[in-house]
């Protein structure tokens, strides 16, 4: 008789979920990294353009140039705000998947420990039964040998 863990299917499911969540977390980390890079890029473009405008201020440019810069800065600030929201959302998704992964990991570990404990108990019980069987055989042989000696 072999050891059979009655929650093996559940353990297999948790292992499968863990693998899927690890893949999903990797994708989300990459997405977060890309969103952060885009945010840094937009912020650097804004600071670069602001310094460019400051140079134009010192050269006494026309008013429509400053209006153009102002509308461009407004658009950049709006894009930066949107990008910050995207970064926040990507971080929230990644954090959520991390927590789910942690819970699945804990559940899998609990199931594995339960399996190990049950397997250990099964082996101990099997060993006890085997020893009991050998004891019975030895007792029976001793009894039959003793009976032969008494008769003979």
User: Is 140 part of a structural domain of the chain?
Assistant: no
Q: What is the spatial distance between Cα 5 and Cα 80, in angstroms, rounded to a whole number? A: 54
Q: At what angle do helices 8-58 and 63-151 cross, to 10 degrees?
A: 160
27 in any annotated domain: yes
Q: Does residue 51 belong to any structural domain of this protein?
A: yes
Q: What per-residue confidence (pLDDT) applies to 44?
A: 95
Per-residue pLDDT of the chain (152 residues; tens, 9 = 90+): 788 999 999 999 999 999 999 999 999 999 999 999 999 999 999 999 888 888 877 776 677 777 888 888 899 999 999 999 999 999 999 999 999 999 999 999 999 999 999 999 999 999 999 999 999 999 988 888 887 777 75
**151 located within any domain:** no
Is residue 72 one of the residues assigned to a domain? yes
Domain-embedded: residue 134 = no
- Give the domain extent around 19: 9-116
In a domain, 4, yes or no: no
Going by C-alpha positions, the residue among 13, 32, 11 that lies closest to residue 21 is 13
* Rg, the chain, Cα only: 36
Domain count across the chain = 1
Model pLDDT, residue 141: 87
Is residue 79 a part of any domain in this protein? yes
């Amino acid at each position: 008789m072999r050891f059979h863990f009655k929650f093996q299917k559940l353990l297999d499911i948790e292992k499968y979920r863990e693998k899927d969540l690890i893949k999903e977390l990797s994708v989300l980390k990459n997405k977060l990294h890309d969103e952060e890079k885009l945010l840094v890029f937009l912020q650097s473009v804004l600071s670069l353009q602001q310094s460019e405008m400051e140079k134009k201020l010192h050269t006494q440019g026309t008013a429509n140039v400053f209006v153009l810069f102002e509308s461009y800065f407004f658009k950049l600030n709006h894009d930066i705000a949107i990008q910050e929201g995207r970064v926040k959302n990507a971080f929230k998704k990644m954090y959520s998947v991390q927590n789910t992964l942690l819970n699945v990991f804990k559940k899998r570990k609990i199931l594995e420990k339960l399996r190990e404990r049950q397997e250990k108990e099964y082996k101990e019980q099997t060993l006890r039964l085997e020893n009991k069987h050998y004891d019975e055989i030895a007792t029976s042989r001793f009894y039959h040998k003793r009976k032969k000696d008494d008769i003979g």
